[in-house]
Amino acid sequence: MKITVDLDLELREAVALYEREQVFVLTDENVRQNCLSIVQQTLSLPENNILVIAAGDENKNLDTLSWIWTQLSNRHATRHSLLINLGGGMVTDIGGFAASTFKRGIHFVNIPTTLLACVDAAVGGKCAINFNGLKNEIGLIKLPDEIIVYPPFFATLSEQQFLSGYAEMLKHGLISSDIDTNILLSFNLDEFFANISKPIITDEIGNESVNPFLENFIHMLSRSIEIKQYIVDQDIEESSLRKSLNFGHTVGHALETLSLHKGQALPHGYAVMYGMIAELYLSVAKLNFPTQKLQRVITFMIENYGKPSCQCKEYELLYDLMLHDKKNLNSSEVNFTLLADVGRPRVNQIASKNEIFEALDFLLNL
Ligand SMILES: NC(=O)c1ccc[n+]([C@@H]2O[C@H](COP(=O)([O-])OP(=O)(O)OC[C@H]3O[C@@H](n4cnc5c(N)ncnc54)[C@H](O)[C@@H]3O)[C@@H](O)[C@H]2O)c1
Ligand SMILES: [Zn+2]
């Protein structure tokens, strides 16, 4: 994994092995507008080698996958071709799947352009499409040959998109250590937003250097990816440790699905942020997680993410959604990853319906 403000250099290195082969870039229509030109300045690929798909998770489906396979085939990609997935998690998920299956697998590089993809989707090898109305129903696990992160791409994300990815960074901090968590909770997001589009600054005598706000952030980003990569390396098939990455996601997925049903889609990271508070409440009740640490996360949530909007009458539905979560070991119990403390995740924790309702009450009455 490379985090860089010199995309040109890293891209050249990544494609050097493919000098005699075809290189393809897969991207979506928004990313083409916002990010493709800088990649093309280095690669200068013929139009024929740029595959553009429609943006949005609803297009992460079999039709799009089939279209990508068809284009690779019609444009004479070989077993030795390279596919560069330039985009958010939708592109890295479907692109990773297409590359891993085309001619039984070709090489692929991920260049994530959203923060969520950078710290989560593009790392860890899970590639999938939505199928039969179910999210990520068909897929496989295949690690990319390289991941190149170029933080200036985040300049065109909305604040909401950025915060959505930041919640996953906070999750990595909470399952990992107090040091990482404290850095994330005290990072000045407003100052960062004001500086993100100025990756390089020039002083009065013309010397150029990396903007210190970006430099701090790059350090946090690299820690976050390292945490995920470390966990994935220990347990790629998710038999135990990798489940710690599900922290916040049992309640989070239920809130996300409910909001979708209500037609007020909640960004994934916001749902995870709220889910983490409910699951920290369960962690306090069941594993003695320190309450003052929970309080700090609540303050951070309220300042940056606001509060979730949900009603008591929706608890049954939320509970039902949690029961159907594919992470459960059986269909009568809800399985959580909870924390005994920051950095001490405990997987396969069961909570009763009453305990879950109490946690929802706590979250919704903050
Ligand atoms: N594989 C995994 O382990 C994993 C983990 C988490 C999420 N995911 C998947 O990732 C997807 C969500 O990721 P996402 O939020 O990155 O979604 P996304 O790829 O759909 O991107 C969100 C939107 O941002 C646009 N966009 C991307 N980069 C941009 C940029 N730099 N500037 C402006 N707009 C930009 C996209 O075109 C899209 O409209 C889902 O499909 C989810 O299932 C996978
Ligand atoms: Zn997530």
Residues with Cβ within 8 Å of residue 126, at least 6 apart in sequence: 93, 136, 139, 141
CB of 57 within 6 A of ligand 1: the answer is yes
pLDDT at position 21 is 93
Contact call for residues 130 and 272 (beta carbons, < 8 A): no
Residue nearest to atom 12 of ligand 1 (CA): 89
pLDDT at position 126 is 95
Q: Single out the residue of 71, 64, 68 nearest to residue 130, CA to CA.
A: 64
pLDDT at position 200 is 79
Q: pLDDT tens for residues 115-127?
A: 999 999 999 999 9
pLDDT at position 135 is 85
Contact call for residues 82 and 57 (beta carbons, < 8 A): no
Mutation test residue for ligand 1: of 36, 57, 153, 224, the one with most atoms within 8 Å of CB: 57
Q: Which CATH number fits domain 241-364: 3.30.565.40, 3.40.50.9100, 3.90.1310.10, 1.20.1090.10?
A: 1.20.1090.10
pLDDT at position 191 is 86
Contact call for residues 255 and 265 (beta carbons, < 8 A): no
Domain boundaries, the chain: 2-155, 159-234, 241-364
CA 356 from centre of chain: 26
Q: pLDDT tens for residues 213-236?
A: 888 899 999 999 999 999 999 999
DSSP string over 249-311: HHHHHHHHHHHHHTT----HHHHHHHHHHHHHHHHHHHH---HHHHHHHHHHHHHHH------
Residue nearest to atom 9 of ligand 1 (CA): 89
What is the pTM assigned to this prediction? 0.94
Give pLDDT < 50 ranges for the chain: none
Amino acid (1-letter code) at residue 43: L
* HSE value, Cβ hemisphere, 13 Å, CA-based, for 35: 27
Q: What is the CATH number of domain 2-155?
A: 3.40.50.1970
